[in-house]
A = this chain, B = another copy of it.
Amino acid sequence: MNNSNRTIISRRARPAKQPLSQDLIVQTALELLKSEGSPGLSMRKIAKALDTGPSSLYVYVANLQELSAFVLDNALAKVDFPEEDQGSWKSRLFDVLQSYLSVLYEAPGVAELSLTTIPAGPHSLAMMEYILRQLHEGGIRSTSAAWGVDLLLLYVSSVAFEQSSRDRKGTTLHAISASYRSLDPSQYPLISGLKEELLSSGGQEDKEGQQGYEGEARFRWGLEAILQGIVTRNNG
């Protein structure tokens, strides 16, 4: 620093520079991820936001990968678990997964994290346990249940990620839409004939609600399909 012989003008807007801690780092990282997307999740940017150098973070966090895992689990704290004495197990199951989806939608980067980092934090475990409990109540046990949770969570993460990676760049949606429309129908008759259906990939087609009507319908369709399959495999 070159302000050694200069009285400090103002100790920043920050509240007197809180001491660092893992929690503070993780929270700052999550804020950056939400405001700037996945490029916001960088050691250097987090350090800058905390008014320090990147090397300081390594006291509380092994590396970026570990930090990412913490950030994901922190975000998952917001997932809502419906009370277990109301409604059917199936409606509760759909509701958690819907809530999980909303949390992932909140920030484009979080969806990517959910696919990229292995979920072993307490919040993710709590969600798995809750889902397993609903499946159990629905008579789905053992292998079917274990593989089923994975499949369901994978589905939700993928939907969220696909969606958020489209939002990232308006170009991409235009690009794919254009490429479908310019297809040679004689070479790709089925794709050509299903253009519209293929493109309604769960996106927010309207500007209003959290998620378009089409998107919500498609999300539930996929969920029902997977669950249907799990149930059938379980009983068959």
Q: Which of A49-57, A80-88, A94-102, A141-149 contacts B (4 or more CB under 8 A)?
A: A141-149
Is A20 an interface residue, CB under 8 A from the partner? no
B225 touches A118 (CB 8 A): no
Q: Tell me the chain A residues, 195-210 only, with Cβ under 8 Å from chain B.
A: 197-198, 201
A118 touches B226 (CB 8 A): no
Residues on B with C-beta less than 8 A from A148 are 225
Residues on B with C-beta less than 8 A from A74 are none
Partner of A229, one of B116, B150, B188, B229: B229
Closest to A233 in B: B225
Interface code A213-236, partner B: CB below 8 Å = 1, 0 otherwise? 000001001101111111011000
The answer to whether residues A201 and B154 also contact, given A125-B183, A194-B132 and a CB cut-off of 8 A, is no
The answer to whether residues A233 and B226 also contact, given A132-B190, A197-B143 and a CB cut-off of 8 A, is no
Q: Which of A8-16, A29-37, A39-47, A172-180 contacts B (4 or more CB under 8 A)?
A: A172-180
Is A158 an interface residue, CB under 8 A from the partner? yes
Is A167 an interface residue, CB under 8 A from the partner? no
Is A191 an interface residue, CB under 8 A from the partner? yes
Closest to A223 in B: B229
Is A89 an interface residue, CB under 8 A from the partner? no
In the bound assembly, the distance between CA atoms of A145 and B228 in angstroms comes to 16
In the bound assembly, the distance between CA atoms of A133 and B232 in angstroms comes to 25
Is A61 an interface residue, CB under 8 A from the partner? no
The answer to whether residues A191 and B128 also contact, given A172-B118, A221-B233 and a CB cut-off of 8 A, is yes
A188 touches B221 (CB 8 A): no
Can you offer 20 A-B residue contacts whose CB atoms are under 8 A? A118-B166, A120-B179, A120-B180, A125-B183, A125-B191, A128-B188, A132-B191, A142-B194, A145-B190, A145-B197, A146-B194, A147-B221, A154-B162, A221-B233, A224-B233, A225-B226, A225-B229, A225-B232, A225-B233, A228-B233
